[in-house]
Structures are given as structure tokens and as C-alpha cells.
Structure 1
Amino acid sequence: MARPPRFDTDQILDAAVRLAASAGPSGVTVSAVAQAIGAPSGSMYHRFAGRTALLAEVWLRTVERFQAGYFDALHSDPDPRRAARAAARHVVSWSRAHPQEASLLLHGAGEFGRADWSEEHVRRADFGHERVYASLGTLAASLGVTGRQGRERIALALVDLPLSVVRRHLRAGEPLPPHAEDLAEECTAALLYTA
């Protein structure tokens, strides 16, 4: 009877997240992750074809977990303005609850080697991206916001502003202030009020 694997995929990816948060994407190597969890490097290749696959999986798992909560928030209320405020709060509250993962996402997929990802990894990334922008488009339509400028306003209100509340503190290695969710929500509400 074969022994169960000593390290599961989530343990490996958790270690990769910690390395990315402390040293950036360049710190995530197969040998560094193996060393961080006390696994032989060879065992890593049973789950990941190489560093590129490891980087893709750590990025995708993180962004997909974030997006799951973001979509829930966007669909949390039939009133589009309240749903938008909930989504803005989610960006901050998720980042507060998962500071290492949030720090990782500040780098962007390009720094995690997206140009070399497999077709499946690229498809997963594109699917998530398209879902976000489709949801923002639906929200814009429900608010009566049209045209390129209107779409820019929605993206600014629900993506860029909440991220800016988070980014400065994460990059400085500081905890988010207690009022950060309120600030993100207020900024989003103010921008949407004029939409």
C-alpha cells in the first residue's frame, strides 16, 4: 500500500505565498518552497512540472480565492449601489484577513511568469478576468452608466479605489487601519453617487 503524500498541494502553495510575500515572485523557486516545508525537491515535481507551473498555481489560487468573495459581494444585494459598496469593502476586508496573499497580488500576473504559463493556466486567468469585467458591466448597466467614461468610472470605483486604500499599507508592511473598509466604501459610494 502506497503511503499518502506527506505534503499536500495547499501546503506547498501556502509556503509559496509566504515566500512571495517576503521576497517577491523571484523568491518563489521549487527548491526554496521545498526547503520551506522540509520536502525533497524531487517530490515537488510530482505536483508541478517546474517553477513556471508553481508560479501559475500560486497566483491563480490566490486570485481565484479573492474573486470568489468579490463576486459574492457584487451579488449580495439587489440594490447595485449597496452591492458596489459591499464589493469595495470586500477588497479591504479580504486583504486584512489575508495580508500575504494580498501582497502577492500587488505584483500582478506578469511578474508570476504569465507569458510562459500553459494554455490551461492562461485560460483560467482570462476566465476570472472576464468574469470580473462582465460583472462590472452588469453593475454599470443596472446603474444606467454607459460608454467608455462610464465604464472607467465603475472600474475606478470598484477596483482602483479600494486597491489604493490597501496598497500603500501593504507595501509599507503596515497593518490596515481600522477605518480602511469604511474609507473604501465611502470613496466608492461618492464616485457612484454622481454616476
Structure 2
Amino acid sequence: MARPPRFDTDQLLDAAVRLAATGGPAAVTMSAVAQAVSAPSGSVYHRFAGRTALLAEMWLRTVERFQDGYHAALQGEDDPRRAARAAARYVVGWSREHPSEAVILLYGAADFGRAEWSAEHIRRADSGNRRVFASLRDLAAALGATDDQGRDTVALALVDMPLAVVRRHLRGGTPLPPHAEDLVERCTAALLA
């Protein structure tokens, strides 16, 4: 009977997230991840074909986890204004609960080598983005935001503004204040009024 692996994929990706959150994308190397979990480098290469695959999987796991909750917030209310406020709050709440992962998302896929990703990794990234963008378009339509300015206002209220609050604190090395969710909810409501 084969011995179960001592290091699983999530352990390795968790280490990659910690490295990227503290040292940026360049800090994530195969040997650094192996060292972070006290594993032989072969354990990392056994799960990821190379650094590009490791970076892609780290990014995709992070963004997919975020997008699942964000999509649920966008779809979770019958009233589109409540759904908008819930989505804005979700950005801050998720970032508070997952500060290292939030730092990863503040970089963007290009910083983690998207141009070199496999076709499957790109397909996964694009599929998740299409799903969220479709939910944002549906919410904008439900709010009566059918022209470019209206859709831009919805994007500002539900994406740009909550991320600005998160970015200011995480990049500044300060925790998100207790009132951050309330602040983005009020700003979202004001922008969509």
C-alpha cells in the first residue's frame, strides 16, 4: 500500500500565498515554497510542472474562492440595491478574513505570469471572470444602468471603491478598520442612488 503524501497541494499553495503576500510575486519560487513547508523540492515539482503552473494555481485558487462568494452576494438578494450593498460589503469582509489572499488579488493575474499560463489555466480564469461580469451586467440592468455611464457607476460602486478601501489599508500595512464594511455600503448606496 502506498504511503499517503506528506504535503498536499493546499499546503503548498498556502505557502505560496504567504510568500507572495509578504514578498510579492517574485518571492514565489519552487524552492521557496518547499522550504516554507520543510518539504523536499520534489514534493512541489510532483504537484506543479514548474513555477508558472504554481503561480497560476495559486492565483486561480485565490480568485475562484473570492469570486464564488462575490457571485453569491450579487445573486443573493431579490432587491438589486441590497445585492449591490452586499457585494460591496463582501469585498471588504472577505479581505478582512483573508488578508494574504487579498494582497494577492491586489496584484492581478498578469503579475503572476498569466501570459505564460497553460490554455487550461487561462480558460479557468476567463470563465470565472465571465461569470462575475455577467452577474454585474445583470445587476446593472436591474438597477436601470443600461448605458456606459450607468454601467461604469455600478463598477465603481461594486468593484473599484471597495477595492480602494482594501488597497489603502493592506498596502499601508494597517488592518481594515471595524467600520470599513459600513463605509463601503454607504458609499455604494450613495453612488447608486
Q: In which range does the TM-score fall when normalised by the shorter chain?
A: over 0.9
Report how far residue 56 of structure 1 moved: 0.2
Instruction: Tell me the distance in 2 between the aligned counterparts of 1:116 and 1:150.
Output: 35
Report how far residue 75 of structure 1 moved: 1.3
Report how far residue 171 of structure 1 moved: 0.1
Does residue 144 of structure 1 match 2:139? Answer: no
Instruction: Tell me the distance in 2 between the aligned counterparts of 1:119 and 1:153.
Output: 33
Report how far residue 132 of structure 1 moved: 1.2
Runs of 4+ residues deviating >6 angstroms: none
Report how far residue 85 of structure 1 moved: 0.1
**Cα deviation digits, residues 101-146 of structure 1 (max 9, x gap):** 0011111000000000000000011111111110010001111111
**What is aligned with 1:64?**
64
Q: Matched residues, percent identical?
A: 75
Matched residue type, 1:63 = V
3-state SS of 2:107 partner: coil
Matched residue type, 1:32 = A
Report how far residue 165 of structure 1 moved: 0.9
**What is aligned with 2:89?**
89
Which TM-score applies when normalising by structure 1? 0.98
Aligned pairs, number: 193
**What is aligned with 2:39?**
39
Structure 1's unaligned 5+ residue stretches are none
Instruction: Tell me the distance in 2 between the aligned counterparts of 1:166 and 1:72.
Output: 20
Matched residue type, 2:18 = R
Deviates more, 1:79-88 or 1:125-134: 125-134
**What is aligned with 2:111?**
111
**What is aligned with 1:158?**
158
Matched residue type, 2:170 = L
Instruction: Tell me the distance in 2 between the aligned counterparts of 1:184 and 1:23.
Output: 28
Which TM-score applies when normalising by structure 2? 0.99
**Cα deviation digits, residues 61-113 of structure 1 (max 9, x gap):** 00000011101111111000000000000000000000000011111000000
Aligned-residue CA RMSD (Å): 0.6
**What is aligned with 1:135?**
135
Instruction: Tell me the distance in 2 between the aligned counterparts of 1:185 and 1:60.
Output: 27
Instruction: Tell me the distance in 2 between the aligned counterparts of 1:121 and 1:56.
Output: 7
**What is aligned with 1:12?**
12
Instruction: Tell me the distance in 1 between the aligned counterparts of 2:152 and 2:127.
Output: 20
Does residue 169 of structure 1 match 2:169? Answer: yes
Report how far residue 8 of structure 1 moved: 0.5
